[in-house]
């Protein structure tokens, strides 16, 4: 899958390509026996992912920080699909307290959990710390999803055991993982404001998403759990993620318009990896345009993945500061 395929939309080995939409790649899939959580499902490709999963009859839980937007998203889905089964729960990935409350609230619903779509994120933000004292892009894009996933794993394992259906976890990464700090992850300076770069910090967090998927996949395979974990790059899509660099991104979009996707195309790879039958048993991979791609050398480094896992565990168990 090279630049020619990206520009032309020519399908790859999977039969799909950059021009494929989320509805197209899930056509014929019956997800009526599945329950899915979609973080950031109130807008952008998260909303499209939630909409298409619901269209394929999955029970969808939209996890979002803005409950007004989440409820509006639910109503939009129900307007076009009266039979859709959609719930909304509050989740602020920048707060470990909120993440733990979300998991408690989800567990109180007594639902199974087959699919976890770690979609939400922030991008190119000025330097700031999360409620737990961690640089915000790393905290929201990686640490928040790392903790959320760990807290939901037992539920996913029990669902997979009792139903015999493979659980699937999808981490939304980005090709931006190629543009990160020296040595990949700045373990000794996550909160160093002087060396902070909004672009490299974003790339670092997206690299962390791939490394998280790879290490979790390794651990689950070693354990024999019936759960796959993969990372995806949705492509270049103009969404609210670009609000901190709107002018720059508009200029970039004009100069490279043939590389950009619309939202239905942007959600395709997520939905493909989450639902397509051909993905059964596939784990620890990185996907672009619904086809497997080789990520960067850093993203393929097993030692770096294990180091990040240990580092992340320490952060969630002993954050720099405790939120009130």
CB 105 within 8 A of CB 89: yes
Q: Distance between CA atoms of 80 and 247, rounded to whole angstroms?
A: 34
Q: Catalytic: 196? A: yes
Give the torsion sign (CA, 319, 220, 228, 304): positive
What's the CA gap between 8 and 18, in Å, rounded?
8
Measured between alpha carbons, how far is 279 from 99 in angstroms, rounded to an integer? 29
Angle at 242 between CA 245 and CA 95, to 5 degrees: 110
CB 314 within 8 A of CB 195: no
Length of the chain: 324
Catalytic residue among 181, 196, 202, 298: 196
Q: Where are the beta strands (DSSP E) in the chain?
A: 35-39, 59-64, 85-90, 115-118, 167-172, 227-233, 286-288, 291-293
Q: How far apart are CA 291 and CA 286, in angstroms?
A: 8
Question: Pairing relation of β-strands 286-288 and 115-118?
Answer: unpaired
**Assigned token pair, 164:** 């015999």
Token pair 């032309």 is at which residue? 8
| Rounded Cα gap, residues 179 and 200, in angstroms | 6
- Half-sphere CA count of 77, side-chain side, radius 13 A: 32
Distance, CA of 134 to CA of 113 (rounded, Å): 29
**Active-site annotation, residues:** 196
């Amino acid at each position: 899958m090279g630049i020619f395929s990206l520009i032309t939309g020519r399908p790859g080995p999977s039969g799909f390509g950059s021009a494929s939409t989320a509805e197209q790649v899930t056509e014929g899939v019956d997800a009526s026996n599945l329950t899915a959580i979609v973080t950031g499902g109130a807008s952008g490709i998260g909303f499209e992912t939630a909409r298409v999963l619901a269209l394929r009859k999955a029970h969808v839980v939209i996890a979002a920080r803005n409950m007004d937007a989440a409820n509006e998203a639910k109503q939009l889905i129900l307007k076009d699909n009266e039979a859709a089964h959609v719930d909304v729960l509050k989740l602020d990935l920048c707060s470990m307290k909120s993440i733990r409350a979300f998991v408690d609230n989800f567990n109180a619903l007594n639902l199974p959990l087959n699919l976890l779509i770690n979609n939400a994120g922030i991008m190119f933000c000025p330097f700031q710390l999360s409620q737990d004292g961690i640089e915000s892009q790393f905290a929201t894009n990686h640490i928040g999803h790392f903790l959320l996933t760990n807290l939901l794993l037992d539920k996913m394992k029990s669902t997979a055991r009792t139903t015999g259906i493979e659980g699937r976890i999808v981490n939304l990464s980005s090709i931006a993982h190629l543009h990160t700090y020296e040595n990949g992850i700045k373990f000794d300076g996550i909160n160093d404001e002087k060396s902070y770069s909004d672009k490299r910090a974003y790339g670092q967090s997206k690299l962390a998403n791939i490394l998280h998927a790879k290490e979790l996949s390794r651990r689950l395979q070693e354990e024999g759990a019936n759960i796959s974990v993969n990372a995806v790059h949705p492509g270049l899509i103009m969404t609210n993620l670009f609000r901190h660099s709107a002018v720059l991104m508009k200029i970039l979009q004009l100069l490279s318009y043939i590389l950009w996707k619309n939202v239905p195309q942007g959600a395709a790879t997520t939905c493909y990896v989450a639902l397509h039958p051909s993905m059964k048993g596939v784990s620890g991979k990185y996907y672009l345009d619904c086809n497997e791609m080789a990520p960067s050398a850093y993203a393929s480094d097993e030692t770096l993945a294990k180091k990040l896992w240990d580092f992340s565990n320490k952060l969630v168990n002993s954050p720099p500061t405790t939120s009130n």
